[in-house]
Structure 1
Amino acid sequence: MRSAKRRTPALACRARALTWAAGLALLASSAVAQTSDLVSKTALRVCADPANAPMSMEDGSGYENQLADLIAAKLELPVEYTWFPMATGFIRQTLRANRCDVVMGYAQGHELVLNTNHYMTSVYVLIVPEDGPLAAVEALSDPALKEARIGIVAGSPPATHMARNGLIGRAKAYNLTVDRRVESPTVDMLNDLEEGEIDAAILWGPIGGPLVKQAHPGFKVIPLLKEELPPRLFFRITMGVRQGDKVWQRKLNSLIRRHQDEINAILRDAGVPLVADMGDGMLDAGQ
C-alpha cells in the first residue's frame, strides 16, 4: 500500500502534463485552421503599392505584377489587388487587416511578415554613363569616385560605405520614405544623372536595373559586389504573408521551388540583377 501511495502524485502529475499537452496541441491546430481560413480560396489577393515603379503599378506593368500573374496562374485563380502606398502603415492597413494575403516582394527576416523562402537575391548598384570616366569603377573605394557627386537614397545601406570612403560630403541625398503617387526619388535621381546634376547614382538593383533598361539606355549598371565590410549590400527577397499563416507559406514555398526558372526569367527580362545567395557573384543565366 505504501508503494502505491508514493506513485500516486507522480501519476497525477503525468496525467496533468498530458492534459496540458493535448490542450496546447488543440489550440495550435485551431490557430492554424483560423489563419488558413483567412486566405482567400477564390482569388490571389495581393497587397501592393499602386505607383512603385518598376515593381508594382496599378496598370499592371510592374514585374511584381507579372510575378503575381504567374503565381495566380499556377493556383488557377484570378489576381485581386489591395492598393496602398508602400510607406508607414502599409502592412497594418493591408495584410494585417486581412484585406489581402500576400506581398510579392519583402526582404527576408523582416518581423512584420512571415517570409516565404526567397525567390531572388539582388544587390545595390552603381549607375554611371557607360561612356563616361566612371564606367570602369567596381567598388566605392575606387579613387575615381573621390571628386564625384553621387546620388544616394538617404538612410540606405550604401550610405555607410560612402561615408567610410569619404564620399558623403559631395553626395546628393534623396528621400527614402515617400508616397510614390506624388514623388519618385529613384526616377528623379536617374533624371538628375541624365542631366549632369550628379555624376553617379546608387540604387537598389531591383529598382535601378529595370529603370535603366526602360528609360536610360546610355547608362551602365554596376553591381556592388566588392564591398567587404558591413553593412552588406545584397539582400534576399521573399513573398510576405501574415504571421502564423504557415499553411499558406508552405504552399507558396512549393510554388517558388517548382517555378524558380520562370520567376528568374521574369526578373531578368525586367532588368533585375540577380546574384548568388551569398552575394559573391552574379547568378548564372542558366539558374
Structure 2
Amino acid sequence: MPAWVADIVRNPVRGLAAAALGLVLGVSGLPGAQAQTSDLVSRNALRVCADPANAPMSSMDGSGWENRIADLIGEKLGLPVQYTWFPQATGFVRQTLKAKKCDVIMAYAQGHELVQNTNHYFTSVYTLIVPETSDLKSVETLSDERLRDRKIGIIAGSPPATHMARNGLIGKARPYNLFVDRRIESPALDMLDDLEKGEIDAAILWGPLGGPLVKSDHPGMVVIPLIHETLPPRLFYRITMGVRQGEKVWERKLNSLIRRNQDEINTILADAGVPLVTDMGDAVMDVGQ
C-alpha cells in the first residue's frame, strides 16, 4: 500500500500544481544542456525508487504497471532503468529519494509535501468490488441501501472508511491493515481472496491496486469506480511522479516526457486494468481498452 495513501487523511491533496512545459525541449539541443539537470540526478540511468513487493503496481520481477511506465520513460531518455527497492510504507521517501539513492518515484499523489510533484499523468479513484453474480453489482454509491447489513472489506484508516462510517456501514465491516510490509502481508490480496470465498460481500480498494488484481486473478468480479460520492473526503486522486524538492529542471524534463507520451502511458494503465477517471473524478475515461 503506497505510503501517501496512508497519509491522505492527515495531508489532504491540494489543487492542481502549475507546471511549466517546454524548457528542457528548448535547451536540449544546446551544448552542455545535460549539465542543467541537478547534479544529484544520475545521467547514466533512470534511477527509480520502488517497493519490491507492491504488485500489481511495482514488483521486483518488473511486472507491475509502475515498472512498465518506468521502462517507457527510460526508453525515451535512452537510459537503462535501475531500482532502489524499499517497502513503500513509513520511511519510504526518507530512505530512498531523500537519501539520494534514486531520482524518481513513479506514482505519487499530487500535492503531497514529501516530494516535488510532476504534472499528474492519470487520475484514479477508489472502487467497490463485488462478484458479478451479486445483487450489489449495480451499486454506485456507499449510501445505497443495499449495502446495509452487508459485510464489506475496507483498509482501516483509508478515505472510504469515513464514508462507510457516515452511512452506518462500519459496524459489520471487516478491516484490513493499512501499514504493512507487502513482502510479508498483502491486505488487498487477502481482501479479494475473502471476497472470492464469500467471507465478505464486497471489497473497497484503491483503483490502481484493485482493478489490476481483479483483471489478472479474479475475472468473476466487477470493479465499480466510486465517482458519485459528493461529500468529503474525496475518493479520487491525481497521480504524478515524485522528485526531490528543488529539482525543477528534472521535474520539467519529466513533465515534457509525460506530455509527449501520454497516450502510451494511458495504454499501459488501461491494459493493466487501472480505472482511469477525469481530472475532477466525475466520469470514467474510455481509452479504447
Kept after mapping to 2: 8 A contact 1:35/1:244: no
Kept after mapping to 2: 8 A contact 1:149/1:170: yes
> TM-score if structure 2 supplies the norm length?
0.87
What's the CA shift for 1:284? 3.0
User: Match of 1:243, as an amino acid?
Assistant: Q
What's the CA shift for 1:177? 1.0
> TM-score if structure 1 supplies the norm length?
0.87
Residue 124 of structure 2 corresponds to residue 122 of structure 1: yes
Rounded to whole Å, the distance in 2 between the matches of 1:140 and 1:87 is 28
Partner residue in 2 for 1:186? 188
Rounded to whole Å, the distance in 1 between the matches of 2:250 and 2:138 is 45
* Runs of at least 4 residues off by over 3 Å: none
Q: Which structure 2 residues correspond to residues 66-145 of structure 1 after superposition, within 5 A?
A: 66-145=68-147
Rounded to whole Å, the distance in 1 between the matches of 2:70 and 2:163 is 34
Residue 192 of structure 2 corresponds to residue 196 of structure 1: no
Partner residue in 2 for 1:211? 213
Rounded to whole Å, the distance in 1 between the matches of 2:243 and 2:46 is 12
Which of 168, 171, 181 in structure 1 is aligned with 2:170?
168
Residues 189-234 of structure 1 show CA distances to partners (whole Å, capped at 9, x for unaligned) of 0000001110000000000000000100000000001111111000
Kept after mapping to 1: 8 A contact 2:267/2:287: no
Rounded to whole Å, the distance in 1 between the matches of 2:115 and 2:135 is 43
Partner residue in 2 for 1:254? 256
- The CA RMSD over aligned residues, in Å, is 1.3
Residue 101 of structure 2 corresponds to residue 61 of structure 1: no
Rounded to whole Å, the distance in 2 between the matches of 1:73 and 1:285 is 23
Kept after mapping to 1: 8 A contact 2:36/2:249: no
Partner residue in 1 for 2:10? none
1:140 aligns to what SS in structure 2? coil
Partner residue in 2 for 1:228? 230
What's the CA shift for 1:34? 9.3
User: Match of 2:144, as an amino acid?
Assistant: D
Moved more, 130-139 or 247-256: 130-139
1:36 aligns to what SS in structure 2? coil
Rounded to whole Å, the distance in 2 between the matches of 1:89 and 1:244 is 20
Q: What percentage of residue pairs aligned between the two structures are identical? A: 76
**Structure that is richer in helix per residue:** 1
Residues 227-267 of structure 1 show CA distances to partners (whole Å, capped at 9, x for unaligned) of 11111000000000000110000000000000000000000
Rounded to whole Å, the distance in 2 between the matches of 1:236 and 1:214 is 24
1:212 aligns to what SS in structure 2? helix
Aligned residues: 255
What's the CA shift for 1:283? 1.4
User: Match of 2:86, as an amino acid?
Assistant: F
Residues 30-55 of structure 1 show CA distances to partners (whole Å, capped at 9, x for unaligned) of xxx89801000000000000000110
Rounded to whole Å, the distance in 1 between the matches of 2:253 and 2:124 is 24
User: Match of 1:131, as an amino acid?
Assistant: T
Residues 64-108 of structure 1 show CA distances to partners (whole Å, capped at 9, x for unaligned) of 000000000000000000000001111111001100000000000
Which of the pair has more CA radius of gyration? Answer: 1
Residues 166-204 of structure 1 show CA distances to partners (whole Å, capped at 9, x for unaligned) of 000000000111000000000000000001110000000
2:163 aligns to what SS in structure 1? helix
What's the CA shift for 1:273? 0.2
Rounded to whole Å, the distance in 2 between the matches of 1:239 and 1:173 is 30
Which of 46, 49, 54 in structure 2 is aligned with 1:47?
49
2:242 aligns to what SS in structure 1? strand
Rounded to whole Å, the distance in 1 between the matches of 2:284 and 2:100 is 37
2:153 aligns to what SS in structure 1? strand
Unmatched runs of 5 consecutive residues or more in structure 1: 1-32
Partner residue in 1 for 2:24? none
